[in-house]
Structure 1
Amino acid sequence: MEKFFLSELPLVVRESTLETTASADSIDLSLVAEGLFTANNIWMMMATALVFIMHLGFAGVEAGFSQSKNTVNILFKNTLTPVIGILTYYIVGFNLMYPGFETPGWFAFGGFMLDLPTNGNSAEYASGGYTYWTDFLFQAMFAATAATIVSGAVAERIKISSYITFTLLFVGIVYPIVGSWKWGGGALDAAGFYDFAGSTLVHAVGGWGALAGIMLLGPRIGKYVDGKVIDKPGSSVPLATIGVFLLWLGWFGFNGGSVLSADPGKVSFVLVTTSLGACTGAIGGLVAGYFVFKRLDFGMVLNGLLAGLVGITAGADVISPGWALVVGFVAGILVVLSAITLDRLKLDDCVGAVSVHLVCGVWGTLAVGIFGVSADGKAMPFLPQLYGVAVCGATAFASAFIIFFVLKKLFGIRVSEQHEIEGLDSHEHGIRGYTIVYDE
């Protein structure tokens, strides 16, 4: 067995093994590798769980920001979304996203279902970062996240059947193909495009899908009347707040897990830039909301916080803490300006998903080419970022638009006027989200 001296180990490994090897001048390299592999895999499984809890966060945000008569409908969709996402990713998505390109290209397919590599549960797989099974589950959570972004934007008037069909196609096929171009070693990766944890590949892709959906669905009844925007108050501000904080918590796994190991320096750095982006995003939303609406708009603070998280996601590992503050603050301002613009265009987004995920996802990806510095100290190039944003955006939007358009022509994608006015809960689910019983 290969041996090496304890003094030659990195400090973090020396300290962790010192007590058990105090009387020895050398240790077994394979034992250290296995220990690091186990530690890495534990962190990646924890990160997977944190990303999973984001679905509860999305459910809270969407239910809180939507009308009470549609609460069950919102929760129904947000429960089915990760179910569909994980299953479709198991059947086709994982091997579409990581097909093993022989040369960087635009499409390849590694086959249906999962097929455990011979080294899939050893330190030889994925540079000792995690097992094959952990790899699949972590990536599957990202796939489901892309779909749930669409859910909030099209809430309160889309047919459940149409939403489920769209999710099957968008998450099962479109998302993994686009993701393969960078994370699977495809053409965008070869072109130098960089997206650490998915400002474009997850958030903007979902945002483009949401934009296509609200364009073809049209606004909710009574949302725009005589040139005025009619507010439709959500059912629960506390629930929306809880949802946002759950999302912030989940983002530690979303970005921290994207290091793909438990490397202490890289993970802690990413968690710091992620948190700073969230904080200044909230401040940006507060400032812009006050300037525009002349009030302390709590909804814009919450969406600003999420905007900051989305914005920093692409470059959380290459943008310094100082510049992360700028990225988050600009994202917070952009989310307010975007929400106003969408209303002027009569594009009804119930929860601000397009503004948060699309607009700020694009901003965060471009910010890598403005503020990012690579590991060797060189500035990250801007043009590959612009190219990646354009290619992914055109593909995601066109695909989503075609799917929704075909569904609209074949089956219809919008509920009846009566169901929309009276609420989807009672008509489609037979129960209400909030029931108050008074004692006689």
Structure 2
Amino acid sequence: MIKKISVLLLLSLGISTSAFAASPTAETVQASLDSIWVMIAAFLVFFMHAGFAMVETGFTRAKNALNILMKNFLTVSIAAVLYFLIGFGLMFGSSAGGFVGMDGFFLSGREDIGFFLFQSVFAATCATIISGAVAERMKLKSYLILTIVMTGLIYPIVGHWVWGGGWISELGFVDFAGSTVVHLTGAVGALITVLFLGARIGKYSKGKANAIPGHNIPLGALGVFILWFGWFGFNGGSSLAADPELVPHVITTTLFSASAAILSSALYTLARFKRVDPSLTLNGALGGLVGITAGCANVSLTGSLIIGLIAGIILVEAVTILDSKFNIDDPVGAIAVHGICGIWGTAAVGLFDIQNGLFYGGGASLLAVQIIGVGAVILWTSITVGGFLFIVTRVSGIRVSREEELSGLDFTEHGSNAYELKDTVLESNSNPSPFGSELVDRLNSIGAGNINKMDQRNTV
């Protein structure tokens, strides 16, 4: 008995010693907090895809809603898998001449799976920008092939240049969360694809742009709110740490820029078109978010307000010029939001960076570097996407037929419709009423009585 008690005491001492040795330190607690914050941010960025889906669906016609939803779901799935297989290695692997990463494929030799997860949802964000711009007329299989190229090759190489220790970062280029890396890359890919596709049927006639209204602007507005909410993780999570000073600053500049852009786009449309345009104002919010993404950690709160105010005006003019002057048919304004405002946001760092910006006495060197980086990304994306689409269009078309476009991609691509609308009130009497026959008869009698009264008034 004594021996058994002695053994139990020794075991308890061993357990106590092990538990004491595993006591958390300040470093392990900080590491846990950093990891938790990055995971929360990754969740927010992933949720942004719901926002993209709602914006694209609401700003386009009902007959294409299912097609847009399928593209968004498939984009996220393709990007996650492909980024694991090849994209992450190309982006963050050991650099070959500052151009491309050479290892880390399948996460081989990498233990920072949290960092990988955060970056993988970014890759999907870049690809889905194209979805809205090409809506209502591009074949689903062609779009998916382009998504594979974007997430597997084009975007990771741009990311390596800027965030993976590549040649642009060595110049001193600043893009904290991706105005150029994510948004401009996606927008240039969208622009080149739209140029290959052409406009939707009926969009332009006799040199005039015709409006093709979206079928559900409230749904689009919900999408903008979701994107705005997710953007706090998009920008704030790019700190890659739960920094008590940096993260609140980044989130506040993000809020300020979007708010200022909404105000400026609303007031500018009122002055220019004599009314506050809802769709342009909603896109103004996104333009302000894209505009602050590059410099959200590097500009002051006042600077973020100025960047947002200018972004809102730029957005309105960009959408108008691309549509009416260049006849570039972008149903959701993605090229203007992510491209033009992405360029502005990246260049604005060279002006408003509190350390090296032109307006803070830092000279024009940072601004020059920012412009070089923008030009390089535009050139790379244009050549690669253009070359890919040129080859694909020589083999088969990327656009649906006229009949398929007119009938809607929901039916032709998926054999179904997003909405089933039935008028139960006017159904024949052979169908049972969910309200009961007495209520239906009463409503009919009230309607008949109102009609008789109207006839009597007209007679008098």
- Which amino acid in structure 2 is aligned with residue 370 of structure 1? L
Deviation at 1:292, TM superposition (A): 2.6
Question: CA separation in 1, counterparts of 2:228 and 2:291?
Answer: 13
Question: CA separation in 2, counterparts of 1:113 and 1:163?
Answer: 25
Question: CA separation in 1, counterparts of 2:71 and 2:175?
Answer: 28
Question: CA separation in 1, counterparts of 2:269 and 2:151?
Answer: 33
Equivalent residues in 2 for 1:16-35, closer than 5 Å: 31-35=25-29
Q: What is residue 266 of structure 2 aligned with on the other side? A: 286
TM-score, length-scaled by structure 1: 0.88
- The structure 2 residue matched to 1:68, chosen from 62, 73, 79, is 62
- Which amino acid in structure 1 is aligned with residue 45 of structure 2? V
Deviation at 1:189, TM superposition (A): 0.8
Equivalent residues in 2 for 1:209-224, closer than 5 Å: 209-224=189-204
Q: What is residue 319 of structure 1 aligned with on the other side? A: 299
- The structure 2 residue matched to 1:114, chosen from 84, 107, 118, is 107
Q: What is residue 20 of structure 1 aligned with on the other side? A: none
Q: Which moved more, 1:282-291 or 1:184-193?
A: 282-291
Q: Which moved more, 1:66-75 or 1:401-410?
A: 401-410
Q: What is residue 79 of structure 2 aligned with on the other side? A: 85
- The structure 2 residue matched to 1:96, chosen from 90, 94, 113, is 90
1:333 correspondence with 2:313:
yes
1:53 correspondence with 2:53:
no
Deviation at 1:426, TM superposition (A): 0.9
SS of aligned partner of 1:211: helix
Contact 1:311 1:365 in 2 (8 A): yes
Q: What is residue 157 of structure 1 aligned with on the other side? A: 137
Deviation at 1:403, TM superposition (A): 1.7
| Unmatched 5+ stretches in structure 1 | 1-27, 121-131
Question: CA separation in 2, counterparts of 1:375 and 1:264?
Answer: 23
Q: Which moved more, 1:74-83 or 1:368-377?
A: 368-377
Question: CA separation in 1, counterparts of 2:118 and 2:281?
Answer: 29
Contact 2:88 2:104 in 1 (8 A): no
- The structure 1 residue matched to 2:37, chosen from 29, 43, 48, is 43
- The structure 1 residue matched to 2:400, chosen from 415, 433, 439, is 415
Question: CA separation in 2, counterparts of 1:352 and 1:238?
Answer: 17
Deviation at 1:111, TM superposition (A): 4.8
Question: CA separation in 1, counterparts of 2:331 and 2:245?
Answer: 39
1:348 correspondence with 2:341:
no
Deviation at 1:378, TM superposition (A): 7.2
- Which amino acid in structure 1 is aligned with residue 44 of structure 2? L
* Greater C-alpha radius of gyration: 2
Contact 1:207 1:353 in 2 (8 A): yes
- Which amino acid in structure 2 is aligned with residue 353 of structure 1? A
Q: What is residue 295 of structure 1 aligned with on the other side? A: 275
SS of aligned partner of 1:307: helix
Q: Deviations over 1:72-93 (max 9, x none)?
A: 0110101111101111100000
Question: CA separation in 2, counterparts of 1:276 and 1:249?
Answer: 13
Question: CA separation in 2, counterparts of 1:105 and 1:381?
Answer: 20
Question: CA separation in 2, counterparts of 1:385 and 1:137?
Answer: 28
SS of aligned partner of 2:100: coil
1:252 correspondence with 2:246:
no
- Which amino acid in structure 2 is aligned with residue 138 of structure 1? F
Deviation at 1:184, TM superposition (A): 0.2
1:388 correspondence with 2:393:
no
Q: Deviations over 1:77-127 (max 9, x none)?
A: 01111101111100000000001227x61123215311244xx3xxxxxxx
- The 1:67/1:57 distance shift into structure 2, 3 A limit, reads same
Deviation at 1:234, TM superposition (A): 0.7
Q: What is residue 277 of structure 1 aligned with on the other side? A: 257
Equivalent pairs: percent with the same residue? 44
Contact 1:318 1:375 in 2 (8 A): no
- The 1:29/1:311 distance shift into structure 2, 3 A limit, reads farther
Question: CA separation in 2, counterparts of 1:107 and 1:256?
Answer: 26
Q: What is residue 346 of structure 2 aligned with on the other side? A: 365
Question: CA separation in 1, counterparts of 2:108 and 2:371?
Answer: 35
Q: Which moved more, 1:291-300 or 1:375-384?
A: 375-384
Deviation at 1:366, TM superposition (A): 0.3
- Cα RMSD (Å): 1.8
- Which amino acid in structure 2 is aligned with residue 388 of structure 1? G
SS of aligned partner of 1:113: helix
TM-score, length-scaled by structure 2: 0.84
Q: Deviations over 1:156-203 (max 9, x none)?
A: 000001000000011110100011011000101111111000000000
